[in-house]
Amino acid sequence: MKRIMQILAVAIAISSCLIMTRRVLTPVLMKNSNYGITSLEQNGTDILFIGSSLFRQGIDTKNLSTGQKSTYLLAYNGFQPFAEYITLKEVFKHTSIKCLVIDMDPYIVSREAKLSDARLFQDQSFGFIYELFSQIHKHGSADYYDLFEMIVQSNNETFFTWPLSYPFINERYYRGSKIGESASSTAEQLNNAELDKNHESELSSIQISALENIIELCRENNVEVIFLEAPKYKRVYENGTYSNLMQTYLQFLQDKNTRIIISNTTAEACSAPSYVEVYEFDSSDASLFNDLNHISSAGRNTFTQTLMPFFNNN
């Protein structure tokens, strides 16, 4: 029994050492990365795009001309407003930006607090992780095993293979945006694909509250806020749920005095305020999409070019 306790104590000591080492070294290793929070804090930006995989696959900061202003994309799978707020509080401690562009996806704002991408905290502190967990625990379904996963198990493979994996990962990003290829779909594939049902029929109060906090945080730091909708394939709009949620989203933003940029398809489906800006994007062209919700490389190029007039004079 004594030997078992000794082995257990050694195992705990080694694990604790590795956890502390990883938490200290990862931000150092990521100082020269082409993505992530550390790189943003180190290099700063004028215009920060923040959002989910819709932005990561949809915006190319390398080819988004904004005059003399720099751009950066901070995007994670399923990135929700409650987590964006916690992240932005940390970012604003280390760097300043002039404009924040928020991924305006009503599906994400309708979900309970949840974390779907562990890369969000791979280069962040224990305090950052615990604040994220506390929000998910309070407003979602996370338990303390999830906290154990966040601190102990997550991102180990990236850390321990960093010297080998880093050059390959870095090549796939430019100032946060994905520059790798995303295949185009066919109309047959998209018309037979199952619609996203991982959302509620109403916007989540915790996400709405976080959006209010983000807007207030930006105003305290003299940062302009823009809400930008990424394009979806036509079937998403035809389903009706998306448009109903977007209508509620627009009503929420109506008195917030922020810029709002939406697709022509959404503008046609919703009673958008007169000051909302609208871009043209062919939501029926399957070649511009990778799946129902994400655009392909061809779509990313088209969408990025479409956005230029909105940000050239920003």
pLDDT of residue 2: 63
Asked whether residue 218 is domain-assigned, the answer is: yes
> What's the pLDDT band for 28 if we cut at 50, 70, 90?
confident
Which helix or strand (DSSP H or E) is residue 100 part of?
strand 99-103
φ/ψ of residue 203, rounded to 5? -70, 145
Asked whether residue 20 is domain-assigned, the answer is: no
> What's the pLDDT band for 224 if we cut at 50, 70, 90?
very high
Asked whether residue 11 is domain-assigned, the answer is: no
Distance CA 205, CA 164 (A): 43
Section 16-39 average pLDDT: 79
> In the structure encoding, which two tokens stand for residue 165, read together?
């994996």
Q: What percent of the chain has pLDDT over 70?
A: 93
CATH code of the domain in which 83 resides: 3.40.50
Q: Which domain holds residue 225?
A: 34-311
Among left, alpha and beta (phi > 0; psi -120 to 50; other), residue 182 is: beta
Considering the entire predicted model, what is its pTM? 0.91
> What's the pLDDT band for 140 if we cut at 50, 70, 90?
confident
Pick from 98-102, 127-131, 206-210: least confident = 127-131
Distance CA 313, CA 305 (A): 15
Distance CA 103, CA 117 (A): 16
User: Exposure of 224 by Cβ count < 10 A (0-12 exposed, 13-18 middle, 19+ buried)?
Assistant: middle
Residue 273 above 90 pLDDT? no
φ/ψ of residue 259, rounded to 5? -75, 140
Asked whether residue 14 is domain-assigned, the answer is: no
The string of pLDDT tens digits covering residues 281-314 is: 999 999 999 999 999 999 999 999 999 998 876 5
DSSP assignment string, 295-306 = B-HHHHHHHHHH
Find, among 150, 145, 158, the residue nearest to 83 by Cα: 150
> In the structure encoding, which two tokens stand for residue 274, read together?
């007169």
Asked whether residue 288 is domain-assigned, the answer is: yes
- DSSP conformational letter for 194: P
Distance CA 239, CA 243 (A): 8
Find, among 276, 275, 254, 249, the residue nearest to 264 by Cα: 276
Residue 206 above 90 pLDDT? yes
The string of pLDDT tens digits covering residues 159-182 is: 888 888 888 888 888 898 888 888
The string of pLDDT tens digits covering residues 103-123 is: 999 999 999 999 889 989 888
Q: What is the number of H-type helices and E-type strands within the chain?
A: 15, 8
Asked whether residue 296 is domain-assigned, the answer is: yes
Strands 71-75 and 47-51, how do they pair?
Answer: parallel
Section 83-91 average pLDDT: 96
Most confidently modeled range among 53-62, 79-88, 194-203: 79-88
Number of domain units in the chain: 1
Asked whether residue 29 is domain-assigned, the answer is: no
Asked whether residue 5 is domain-assigned, the answer is: no
